[in-house]
Structure 1
Amino acid sequence: MNSHRCHSAIPEREFVCVDDSFMARGKSNNFSGPYGTFPSEGQLTPGARYMGSESNVLNANSNDISNQELLDLAKGDERLSESLTTTRSNDEQQKPVLEKSKSESPRTEVYKRRWYLLLVFALSALLWNAVWSTWGPIAQSAKDVYGWSDGDIAMFTWLGNIPFLVTMFPIAYLMDVKGMRIAMVLSCGLAFLGTGLRCIPCDVQYAKWPIYAGQLLNGVAGTVPMSGPALLSGLWFPPNQRATATAFSTLLGYFGACISFVIGPLLVPEPYYPPPFNGSILNNFKYMDSNSSGNGTADTSAQKAGIMNILYAECGAAGVLFLLVIIYFPSKPPHPPSVSASIPREKYLPGLKMLARNKQFWVTAVAYSVPIGVYEVWQVVLDVIFDSRVSQETAGWMDFYATLGGCISGMLVSRFADYFTRQMKLFLLVFYFFSAVAILWCTLVVMDILPFDVVSIYAAIVIGGVFLDGGAPLFFELVIEVSYPVGEGVTSGCLQMICASAGILFLSILQIESIGKLWMNWFFFGTITMAMPLLFFIKTTYGRADIDDCEVEVSPSIEDSSVIEQACEDDDKTKLLKAVGI
């Protein structure tokens, strides 16, 4: 007579027998009997749950235990007694199906409203980036109006990054534990308050203090839209749309900075610089008269009016978004869109501990966060880097086309990756290689090693943006996969915290004006080349995808994200066991 050897390497756990194999999950040792091997005919149900510990796994002859004794051992444990059956045919025993789990399997459903929620969330990311990058594209005009230095311009951007280091953990807790609604109401409310502070009318010499406060509050608000794309897509979208949804909200956020690069220079006139003396006193007198306020100083009223129009527009947009979120933005759908979405994630603190010990997470996070974090701030201060060699408006259009190209390529590649989930690493290696070549090209042109030409710089920056921004959504999805079953909120939050740290380091060095500006391009190029070898060391695991690729049955009565059964067409149980960490 055949027998099923039921065993586990994890003591004090719940055993689930799945056609001659065990999966261990949960925390219980209610079944303490000395039986580790059970007869198959009529006494052991493949897929049934048995309780025990590793020390109780013994070799027992099929005659050592009867049906009645087995049922007696099940008394006092409702889950065990419900799972046991006393008779079953040999054909039924061979089916890897758990009847009780099927009756409890979660209902999955997708809702049309997910597209509206994705749009609102993506618009909040767009607004955050627009507010965060307000000052870089109009740096020359802002310095002319307010008397600021390059360090002051960098400080405004720096204040948008620093809150990530302080608020990431509590905001991630809100998203993962309390739900997306509370997090979004808080985020949009802070954005509305922060943009309102920047509109307070005051003398130019005191204007930077309310602007400092506004940029800081906007930085806190940005923790949600910048770290929540993967969480929102996992909550509302099925597996074949997750990468696309993540890409949409991530890339539309980048498009916010793209808008600033164009709208800023269009609304705010550039500062007037006196032309070289050409020997004509009359011509130079006409120039000074047309650009003077009448008291011997340059007239900056048009520039200041343009700046205030931008601040008012951003404040109004923040108010509309805040209202939309208050009216309708649920924490989660009534039913999950996929099996993996129905499985409870690790609790907050245990999840943080798992991330801290997960080497693959750190390798993947550094490979993404350092280059992207530096790129975001490098792009914002592009006008500072080129200074007078490229006009403020031209620098803005360079950033616009680079970001727009990145958004388009990101959406196309992410849609492709929805169907080729396991090829993300290859895509990212190709993207990083071409972006490194483009930034090196730009650096050599700026140094005059290659002939200086605006068209050449245009091409280098746009190509770099296409490949860097285009790969960002894939990194988000890859990090979620290698860190599963840790919650998407805390995982993405840690990712953005590292990203913000890289940007803060770059902007902090920028405060040292004596070292010049040439280092910025080499620093940026170095971060990309550093990340490429790290990609080779990433051992890609697809925990969430493995579960969704199989027809997995989930028992909601078991804690710790318990996956009870799978019925893959290729009957590959090893893959699923690895996916759930067993």
Structure 2
Amino acid sequence: MGDSKTIEVSGSVMDGVGEKGGVLESPSKKQPTEYTVYPIRWLMLFIFVFNSATNAMQWIQYSIIQDAVVKYYGVTSIVVYWTSLIYMITYIPLIFPASWLLDKAGLRVTTIIGSFGTCLGAWLKVFSVPQDMFWLGFAGQTVVAVSQVFILNVPPRLAAVWFGADQVSSACSIGVFGNQLGVALGFLLPPMLVRATGSPDEMAADFRLMFYLVAGFTSVLFVFILLFFKAAPPSPPSAAADLGSSLDSNFLQSIRKLFMNRNYVLLLLSYGLNVGVFYAISTLLNQVVLTYYPGANEDAGRIGLVIVVAGMAGSVVCGLVLDRTHRFKETTLAVYVASVLGMIIFTFTLDCGIFAVVYLSSILLGFFMTGYLPVGFEFASEVTYPEPEGTTSGILNAVVQVFGIVLTLAYERMLEAWGDRWSNLTLCALLALGAAITAAIRSDLRRQAAQNKA
């Protein structure tokens, strides 16, 4: 059935189920509690990984082939960039109801909604192939963007509900890995499938193939989620999960507590700066690369792919480090400082004229900058425990979207006015500020304390 551990716990840690809403037994006396982790937890995690990937791959789908979209549909570059910005804009107002739903309805309901919206938006794009139907493609992109709200803040919650204390950080990093996998595919596939130099008929066939592939895969995955994805295991996997599930949280009160938490507010700022810079670079990567390497559309996609794949490796490595050491602040700060150094190296090698060097600097940048994503999630869960992980990560992501919108629009203006060198140095300075803010966060590991006490 699963791996079991028997732990003597006090009355404050009550028997229950992994998600809120289960029947709880009386906490009036000490009793041995058996915490079981179930093998099926890995199936739940990997179903979520693919669900997250199918959504994230559509974020950059248009902007990474910006020149092809402009040529075929006859729209402006800024309209194309709005297809990725819409992901950020819809997230901000919708994250609060989505976090409330995750807290109250649980993982299964939230995941089904996210998967259905991703599938629906992908099918709308299938019908947007005619050159006068870009508006329908944008509508489909908006539906997918709204669906992201029900996906992006799930990893720390899923990890806490299904995984034991010695695997929760690794599970969270694998959950975030799904988003990064999708972004990687978003960088890789569109430049391979859609030719910017083809005739209108050839480009129409290319767009049709790309949209059908995505719609078909999201449809299969939606059916799979309906059949197999579960809300929670029969019993909690750890003492921290047991206590968290027993607390009937008040959503508005949780939000108030989070914004009164000094460490969390500082983490919001530093996390927003780091991921906002990543969003800005990703959205405008095609334009920046083509400035120095005209016609290198596929290389622009591959550079983006390299950044994200390196980040996927960084995510897993950082998750393993956290599970082994539980040194959350030290790991967060080290990864952040390395992100600053990676951005500086990327800035000064971009125009070197040697693609191999650009790829190497992209690997370094990606490993730390996108590898930082699960580290920030897990650090937030530690300093805010026992507040719901979905609410904690949801607000974290909402702040990221604000920073992402502002920095992407500012980066575009700076590129026009100053060129890429000074624009990228400005982003380096913002990352250095984020590292300084991270250094000011106190290492208040509340979830670890609850686990150790139990």
Rounded to whole Å, the distance in 2 between the matches of 1:356 and 1:413 is 27
Once the two structures are TM-superposed, the CA of residue 165 in structure 1 deviates from its matched residue by 0.6
Q: Which residue of the partner structure matches residue 191 of structure 2?
A: 265
Q: Which residue of the partner structure matches residue 494 of structure 1?
A: 395
Q: Which residue of the partner structure matches residue 129 of structure 1?
A: 56
Q: CA RMSD in A?
A: 2.3
| Conserved? CA contact 1:407–1:466, under 8 Å | yes
Which of 124, 149, 155 is 2:82 aligned to? 155
Rounded to whole Å, the distance in 2 between the matches of 1:517 and 1:150 is 17
Once the two structures are TM-superposed, the CA of residue 182 in structure 1 deviates from its matched residue by 1.2
| Conserved? CA contact 1:150–1:384, under 8 Å | no
Q: Which residue of the partner structure matches residue 116 of structure 1?
A: 43
Q: Which residue of the partner structure matches residue 248 of structure 1?
A: 174
Once the two structures are TM-superposed, the CA of residue 501 in structure 1 deviates from its matched residue by 1.0
Query: What's the secondary structure of 1:108's corresponding residue?
Result: strand
Instruction: Name the stretch that deviates more: 303-312 or 173-182.
Output: 303-312
| Conserved? CA contact 1:230–1:246, under 8 Å | yes
2:334 maps to 1:430: yes
Q: Which residue of the partner structure matches residue 207 of structure 2?
A: 307
| Conserved? CA contact 1:191–1:217, under 8 Å | yes
Rounded to whole Å, the distance in 1 between the matches of 2:432 and 2:387 is 29
Higher relative contact order (CA 8 A, sep 6+): 2
Q: Which residue of the partner structure matches residue 397 of structure 1?
A: 302
2:443 maps to 1:515: no
Once the two structures are TM-superposed, the CA of residue 452 in structure 1 deviates from its matched residue by 4.1
Once the two structures are TM-superposed, the CA of residue 271 in structure 1 deviates from its matched residue by 2.6
Tell me the alpha carbon deviations over residues 334-364 of structure 1, each in whole angstroms, 9 at most, x when there is no partner: 1100111111343212111101211110101
1:311-322 correspondence to structure 2 within 5 Å: 311-322=211-222
2:316 maps to 1:411: yes
Rounded to whole Å, the distance in 2 between the matches of 1:124 and 1:24 is 38
Once the two structures are TM-superposed, the CA of residue 241 in structure 1 deviates from its matched residue by 0.5
| Conserved? CA contact 1:385–1:517, under 8 Å | no
Once the two structures are TM-superposed, the CA of residue 412 in structure 1 deviates from its matched residue by 1.9
Q: Which residue of the partner structure matches residue 545 of structure 1?
A: 448
Q: Which residue of the partner structure matches residue 214 of structure 1?
A: 140
Query: What's the secondary structure of 1:198's corresponding residue?
Result: helix
Q: Which runs of 5+ in 2 are unaligned?
A: 1-9, 13-25
| Conserved? CA contact 1:375–1:524, under 8 Å | no
| Conserved? CA contact 1:230–1:488, under 8 Å | yes
2:259 maps to 1:356: yes
Q: Which residue of the partner structure matches residue 200 of structure 1?
A: 127
Rounded to whole Å, the distance in 2 between the matches of 1:119 and 1:361 is 29
| Conserved? CA contact 1:399–1:462, under 8 Å | no
The residue type paired with residue 408 of structure 1 is: A
Change (3 A) 1:520 1:198: farther
The residue type paired with residue 30 of structure 2 is: K
Change (3 A) 1:202 1:258: closer
Rounded to whole Å, the distance in 1 between the matches of 2:371 and 2:114 is 26
Q: Which residue of the partner structure matches residue 434 of structure 2?
A: 531
TM-score (norm 2): 0.88
Query: What's the secondary structure of 2:63's corresponding residue?
Result: coil
Once the two structures are TM-superposed, the CA of residue 175 in structure 1 deviates from its matched residue by 0.6
The residue type paired with residue 434 of structure 2 is: A
Rounded to whole Å, the distance in 2 between the matches of 1:516 and 1:110 is 54
| Conserved? CA contact 1:157–1:377, under 8 Å | no
Which entry has the higher C-alpha Rg, 1 or 2?
1
Rounded to whole Å, the distance in 2 between the matches of 1:364 and 1:201 is 41
2:372 maps to 1:444: no
Query: What's the secondary structure of 1:226's corresponding residue?
Result: coil
Rounded to whole Å, the distance in 1 between the matches of 2:205 and 2:425 is 37
Rounded to whole Å, the distance in 1 between the matches of 2:266 and 2:41 is 32
Query: What's the secondary structure of 1:538's corresponding residue?
Result: coil
Rounded to whole Å, the distance in 1 between the matches of 2:266 and 2:411 is 27
Rounded to whole Å, the distance in 2 between the matches of 1:517 and 1:255 is 30
Query: What's the secondary structure of 1:239's corresponding residue?
Result: coil
Query: What's the secondary structure of 2:152's corresponding residue?
Result: helix
Once the two structures are TM-superposed, the CA of residue 453 in structure 1 deviates from its matched residue by 3.2
Q: Which residue of the partner structure matches residue 276 of structure 1?
A: none
| Conserved? CA contact 1:192–1:322, under 8 Å | yes
Rounded to whole Å, the distance in 1 between the matches of 2:288 and 2:446 is 43
| Conserved? CA contact 2:129–2:208, under 8 Å | no
Rounded to whole Å, the distance in 1 between the matches of 2:105 and 2:392 is 16
Q: Which runs of 5+ in 1 are unaligned?
A: 1-22, 26-82, 84-97, 273-298, 553-582
Identity %: 22
Change (3 A) 1:338 1:355: same
Once the two structures are TM-superposed, the CA of residue 510 in structure 1 deviates from its matched residue by 5.7
Tell me the alpha carbon deviations over residues 377-414 of structure 1, each in whole angstroms, 9 at most, x when there is no partner: 42232011222423111111111122111111221221
2:233 maps to 1:333: yes
Q: Which residue of the partner structure matches residue 18 of structure 2?
A: none
Bigger helix share: 2
Once the two structures are TM-superposed, the CA of residue 187 in structure 1 deviates from its matched residue by 0.9
2:153 maps to 1:227: yes
Once the two structures are TM-superposed, the CA of residue 369 in structure 1 deviates from its matched residue by 2.2
Instruction: Name the stretch that deviates more: 172-181 or 366-375.
Output: 366-375
| Conserved? CA contact 1:194–1:214, under 8 Å | yes
Once the two structures are TM-superposed, the CA of residue 455 in structure 1 deviates from its matched residue by 2.7
Rounded to whole Å, the distance in 1 between the matches of 2:130 and 2:418 is 31
Rounded to whole Å, the distance in 2 between the matches of 1:223 and 1:396 is 25
1:13-28 correspondence to structure 2 within 5 Å: none
Q: Which of structure 1's runs of 4+ aligned residues deviate more than 6 A? A: none
Query: What's the secondary structure of 1:224's corresponding residue?
Result: coil
Rounded to whole Å, the distance in 2 between the matches of 1:318 and 1:24 is 45
Once the two structures are TM-superposed, the CA of residue 520 in structure 1 deviates from its matched residue by 4.4
